[in-house]
Amino acid sequence: MAGVEFVKGHGTENDFVVLPDPDGVLELTVERVRALCDRRRGLGADGVLRVTRAASVADAPADVAGERWFMDYRNADGSVAEMCGNGVRVFARYLLDAGLVEPGDLVVGTRAGERPVTTHEDGTVTVDMGPAKVFGHSTATVGGRAFDGVAVDVGNPHLACLVDGSVDDLDLTVPPGYDPVLFPHGVNVEFVQPVGAGMLRMRVHERGVGETRSCGTGTVAAVAAVLDLGGQAGGECIVDVPGGRVRVRVDEHTSTLTGPAVLLARGELDAAWWEALGGE
């Protein structure tokens, strides 16, 4: 067997191993994802983006056209997630650099549905993330402290908590506590610090990963939460995360996320290493 091609990329330092698989032949097991994402025994990443067509993904939503390029996203622990806002920008950058799409407008299939994407000449990418739906209010706990938050569905589940004071002091090495009844499939928890008009700072603990340097869907949830708490239907914010800066716009119908997408390395996984990790 030949080695498996890979590309390494990141969006605001939320990093991914991209696996081109146009014919849908790669067996992406939990063990293979975990090994790839491990920062010592693998390449190291927060997640894996398999690049394939929707037709070859068994759990692709029915409303995603079969010929669409499909982002098969996996968290570092091997779990499947519906959507990844930083990942979809990196995915689009890969499609563009590989000559699989033209610059400008394209559509990416995801488990949350089809997502219109625009690549820009300055290297940034804008994604139409769909509606950010507030579905309740709840609490996260960190180090014995409770933080009130807003539950937001951005295709995947979030609890965005506004913090009084700095987000820098929180210990996110331990997963925040949350209500498993409201979030039966787990949740991504954001801690959000307003720092001026239309400016937020945010840290995040991601479901299936741990603390990451950024979470695109999380930044959309953060802005939706701030608007909800302020009684506003729409607005735009700059969100600073440990890994960089993104711009988010939210209205009653949809939301957009704009930020960088970087590819930094490409190569081939050793065939024997891949095989030894085993198929399904």
Ligand X SMILES: N[C@@H](CCC[C@H](N)C(=O)O)C(=O)O
**Residues forming the active site:** 84, 215
Confirm or deny that 86 is annotated as ligand binding: yes
Q: Does 81 bind ligand X (CB under 6 A)?
A: yes
Rounded to whole angstroms, the Cα distance separating 280 from 263 reads 29
Q: Does 156 bind ligand X (CB under 6 A)?
A: yes
Q: Does 215 bind ligand X (CB under 6 A)?
A: yes
Phi-psi region of 136 (alpha: psi -120 to 50; beta: other; left: phi over 0): left
Q: Does 126 bind ligand X (CB under 6 A)?
A: no
* Cβ atoms of residues 108 and 92 within 8 Å: yes
Q: Which residues pair with 39 in a beta bridge?
A: none
Spell out the alpha helix ranges (H) of the chain.
30-37, 85-97, 216-229, 271-276
Confirm or deny that 14 is annotated as ligand binding: yes
Confirm or deny that 27 is annotated as ligand binding: no
Structure tokens of 14?
């939320």
Minimum Å gap between C-beta 28 and ligand X is: 16
How remote is the C-alpha of 58 from its chain's centroid?
A: 21
Confirm or deny that 75 is annotated as ligand binding: yes
Candidates 138, 188, 255, 256: give the one binding ligand X (CB under 6 A). Answer: 188
Instruction: For the chain, report the end-to-end CA distance as a whole number of angstroms.
Output: 17
Count of residues interacting with ligand X (CB under 6 A): 18
Residues 192-211 close enough to bind ligand X by CB under 6 A: 206-209
Rounded to whole angstroms, the Cα distance separating 53 from 68 reads 6
Confirm or deny that 207 is annotated as ligand binding: yes
Minimum Å gap between C-beta 64 and ligand X is: 18
Cα dihedral 19, 21, 24, 25 sign:
negative
Confirm or deny that 149 is annotated as ligand binding: no
Q: How many residues does the chain have?
A: 280
Minimum Å gap between C-beta 23 and ligand X is: 25
- DSSP per residue, 247-277: EEEE-SS-EEEEEE-EEEEEEEE-HHHHHHT
Q: Does 216 bind ligand X (CB under 6 A)?
A: yes
Minimum Å gap between C-beta 253 and ligand X is: 20
Closer residue to ligand X in complex, CB, 14/274: 14
Q: Does 84 bind ligand X (CB under 6 A)?
A: yes
Residues 11-30 close enough to bind ligand X by CB under 6 A: 14
Q: Does 256 bind ligand X (CB under 6 A)?
A: no
Structure tokens of 197?
């008009």
Rounded to whole angstroms, the Cα distance separating 13 from 67 reads 30
Closer residue to ligand X in complex, CB, 138/212: 212
Residue 214: count of CB within 10 angstroms of its CB? 28
Confirm or deny that 208 is annotated as ligand binding: no
Minimum Å gap between C-beta 184 and ligand X is: 13
- List residues forming the annotated binding site for substrate: 14, 75, 85-86, 156, 188, 206-207, 216-217
Give contact residues for ligand X (rule: CB under 6 A): 14, 75, 81, 84-87, 156, 188, 206-209, 212, 215-218
